[in-house]
Structure 1
Amino acid sequence: MSGSSSLRAWWARRPPAAGAVVLATGILSVGLRLAGHEVLFQATLALAGAAWALLASDFVVRLVREPRRWRAEAGTPGGLTAVAATTVLGAGVSALGRQNLAWALLALAAVLWPLLMTDVVRHVTRHLMSHRGRRMHGDVFLCCVATQGLAVLGATLAKAERLDWPAHTALVLFWLGLLLYVFMLALFDWREVTDGAGDQWVAGGALAVSALAGARLTDADHRLHLWNADDRGVLRGMTLALLVLALCWYAVLLAGELLRPRLRYDVRRWATVFPMGMTAVAMLSAAPALVLPRWKGPGEALLWVAVAAWLAVAVAALAAGPLGSVTSRGPR
């Protein structure tokens, strides 16, 4: 009885950023599919889908029963994991060949994106006005991740369904996501590199998902011939630059972990696994899209590093139990 009560207590205070578990698991499934591991792909995609369904049901229940709390949580950057997780799951479902379900997930994410983004912009504005000089945590980059997630899924479905308009819309979102990244980078607290609880990795993951969006748009162009030579060259160059920058972030954040190890489990550690997996997927996708076959080997190596990190965080979560998952924090 006490165990179930503890579980209910944990679930009741579960932060919005807990959706990062879907992001981490879903992107690993996509990476495993790209690496040719079909059984593991289906298994991890099923786990991501189950976690998404559980969190989505709680999302609706809170909206109905606790609208004030729902609004407060949805107005934080962590609330955008609802959009990002839905798009990542959609990409996995599309790889499985279930395009109708992928379209439904894209439509849901597209509806949630402006609603949640508006609240997050208000949250950031209030933060700037009331906490002058104080920077923000890594989850602020979820504004970019959610936007680029829509671009990734739109480009994926454009290629799968041979449609132009999703790719053109995805291109607009791609550039918008980059603008959001630049803005959020100015708000980021750089001390998070060595002090963060895990979500500081989203700073690099946002660039990785941007590179993935660029790779998917380039790949869609191979089939649909969407862009002229100049546009194609700009998109290819930007994708390559984003991928290199994401790898640089990877090195910097890994160095921060080694300099100041933070071994205590925190739910935000799932936001560490997601960028690791996303960087691997971006490399695996860029290899054929940008005709860079030598990138496939390092991409697969990073994928297995992300799998090991996923397993480590999962074991730590089970060992920590329902009451050891997250600590409160405020802006710096």
Structure 2
Amino acid sequence: MTTSRARSFEALSGARALGWLATVPPGAGAAVMATGIVSVGLHLTGRAVLSGIALGVAAALWVLLAVAFAVRLLTDRAGWVAASANPPALTAVAATCVLGTRLSLFGSQRTALALLALSALAWPWLLLSVLRHFRRPEPGAAFLVCVATEALAVLAATLALAGQGDWLAWAALVVCLLGVLLYVEALLRFDFRQVLTGHGDQWIAAGALAISALAAAKLTASPLWTGSGHGVLRDFTLVLLGLDMAWYAVLAVCEVVRPRPRYDLRRWSTVFPLGMSAVASLTAAQAARVRWLHGLGSVLLWIAVAAWLYVAAGFTARVAGGRRRGAAGSA
């Protein structure tokens, strides 16, 4: 009897777990993006232990979301296809590339190359699916068409700098330029009222420029381009970073004018741009030889860390509250 009950309980628990995984929204990939980029920033500033912890969390979240992705594909194919037409689906590509970038910096080049290949396979299909269903106006998530594209450029350029092939740098250059064009497309469709009413993803307007600046900074650091080519890439990096900082300032002021303190899944899409702006500044400081950007990046990094802790606390409280309500309902 006891064995039978135990097996029934295990089967029920397994069914509930699968049911929960099938409901994980595509936008949850922003949590991996946010955690991964914070890990990169901590690595660049010499906080090896904290960076390693963040890397472990990002990797665990990525595995969880990969399982959720597979479960939904197997159990709700129609829902999976419908979700792939929305911009948050592109967080799967961006999250994989951000994790790959951190692993490359960690020295795991083969794993990073595998993640690049996986992302490159998923990216065109998801991108075209999203672009076909683009509307006007769009929320901040629209800028994920740029973010996912530039994430590929960043990972490819990082691997090129790690000695995995000059062709990756050329590919990164092409993809970086495409990402900037996609930013313009998203900007033309963006609902600018979101800067005051959005629940977190409006920050991707800044984050997309930040990751574009990071891709350009890594290309600037490449030995492939010298002379005027290097100068153009350097100026391109600084222009993109300047535009990012302008967006950052506007969005920060709007957060003060119109506070939105409640937890929302889209708040991970606030943390990511904060962290990406920090990493872009830290990388540009070295690549473009603008030393004061390192100090700015260090300050922005701790803002991103504080935001990560705040959003993580909100997520924990939301999960705990949901469990308590579930337990009360069962009773």
The aligned amino acid for 1:277 is G
Q: Which residue of 1 aligns with 2:149?
A: 147
Q: Tell me the CA shift for residue 231 of structure 1.
A: 1.9
Q: Distance in 2 between matches of 1:11 and 1:57?
A: 8
Superposition map of 1:314-325 within 5 A? 314-321=312-319
Q: Tell me the CA shift for residue 57 of structure 1.
A: 1.1
Residue deviations 1:108-136, cap 9 Å, x none? Answer: 00001011111101111xx3xxxxxx410
Q: Tell me the CA shift for residue 11 of structure 1.
A: 4.6
Structure 2 length-normalised TM: 0.90
Q: Distance in 1 between matches of 2:73 and 2:15?
A: 23
The aligned amino acid for 1:253 is L
Q: Distance in 2 between matches of 1:179 and 1:163?
A: 26
Superposition map of 1:27-176 within 5 A? 27-124=37-134, 127=135, 134-161=136-163, 163-176=165-178
Q: Is the 8 A contact 1:6 1:322 kept in 2?
A: no
Distance 1:4 1:304, change over 3 A: farther
Residue of 14, 18, 21 corresponding to 2:24 = 14
Q: Distance in 1 between matches of 2:240 and 2:270?
A: 19
Distance 1:5 1:162, change over 3 A: closer
Residue deviations 1:277-301, cap 9 Å, x none? Answer: 0000000001111111111111111
The aligned amino acid for 1:230 is S
Segments of structure 1 that go 5 or more residues without pairing to the other structure are 128-133, 325-332
The aligned amino acid for 2:116 is L
The aligned amino acid for 1:100 is R
Segments of structure 2 that go 5 or more residues without pairing to the other structure are 1-8, 323-331
Give the secondary structure class of the aligned counterpart of 2:199: coil
Higher relative CO (Cα under 8 Å, sequence separation at least 6) belongs to 1
Q: Tell me the CA shift for residue 162 of structure 1.
A: 5.3
Q: Which residue of 1 aligns with 2:293?
A: 295
Q: Is the 8 A contact 2:23 2:72 kept in 1?
A: no
Distance 1:257 1:242, change over 3 A: same
Superposition map of 1:201-212 within 5 A? 201-212=203-214
The aligned amino acid for 1:231 is G
Q: Is the 8 A contact 2:109 2:159 kept in 1?
A: yes
Q: Which residue of 1 aligns with 2:271?
A: 273
- Residues paired across the two proteins, number: 312
Q: Which residue of 1 aligns with 2:284?
A: 286
Q: Tell me the CA shift for residue 263 of structure 1.
A: 1.2
After superposition, the CA RMSD in angstroms is 2.0
Q: Which residue of 2 aligns with 1:188?
A: 190
Give the secondary structure class of the aligned counterpart of 1:186: helix
Residue deviations 1:143-169, cap 9 Å, x none? Answer: 000000000000000010152100000
Give the secondary structure class of the aligned counterpart of 1:149: helix
Task: After superposing the two structures, state which structure 1 stretch, 275-284 or 291-300, moved more.
Answer: 291-300
Q: Tell me the CA shift for residue 321 of structure 1.
A: 2.6
Q: Which residue of 2 aligns with 1:227?
A: 225
Residue of 249, 252, 259 corresponding to 1:251 = 249
Residue deviations 1:226-252, cap 9 Å, x none? Answer: 124222211111100000110111100
Give the secondary structure class of the aligned counterpart of 2:133: helix
Residue deviations 1:164-195, cap 9 Å, x none? Answer: 10000000001000000011100000000000
The aligned amino acid for 2:246 is C
Q: Is the 8 A contact 1:198 1:271 kept in 2?
A: yes
Q: Distance in 2 between matches of 1:213 and 1:281?
A: 11
Q: Is the 8 A contact 2:199 2:260 kept in 1?
A: yes
* Rg (Cα) greater in structure: 2
Q: Distance in 1 between matches of 2:129 and 2:155?
A: 23
Q: Distance in 2 between matches of 1:147 and 1:159?
A: 19
Q: Tell me the CA shift for residue 6 of structure 1.
A: 9.0
Q: Distance in 1 between matches of 2:299 and 2:16?
A: 38
Q: Distance in 2 between matches of 1:246 and 1:19?
A: 22
Q: Which residue of 1 aligns with 2:309?
A: 311
Give the secondary structure class of the aligned counterpart of 2:222: helix
Q: Tell me the CA shift for residue 12 of structure 1.
A: 4.1
Q: Is the 8 A contact 1:16 1:79 kept in 2?
A: yes
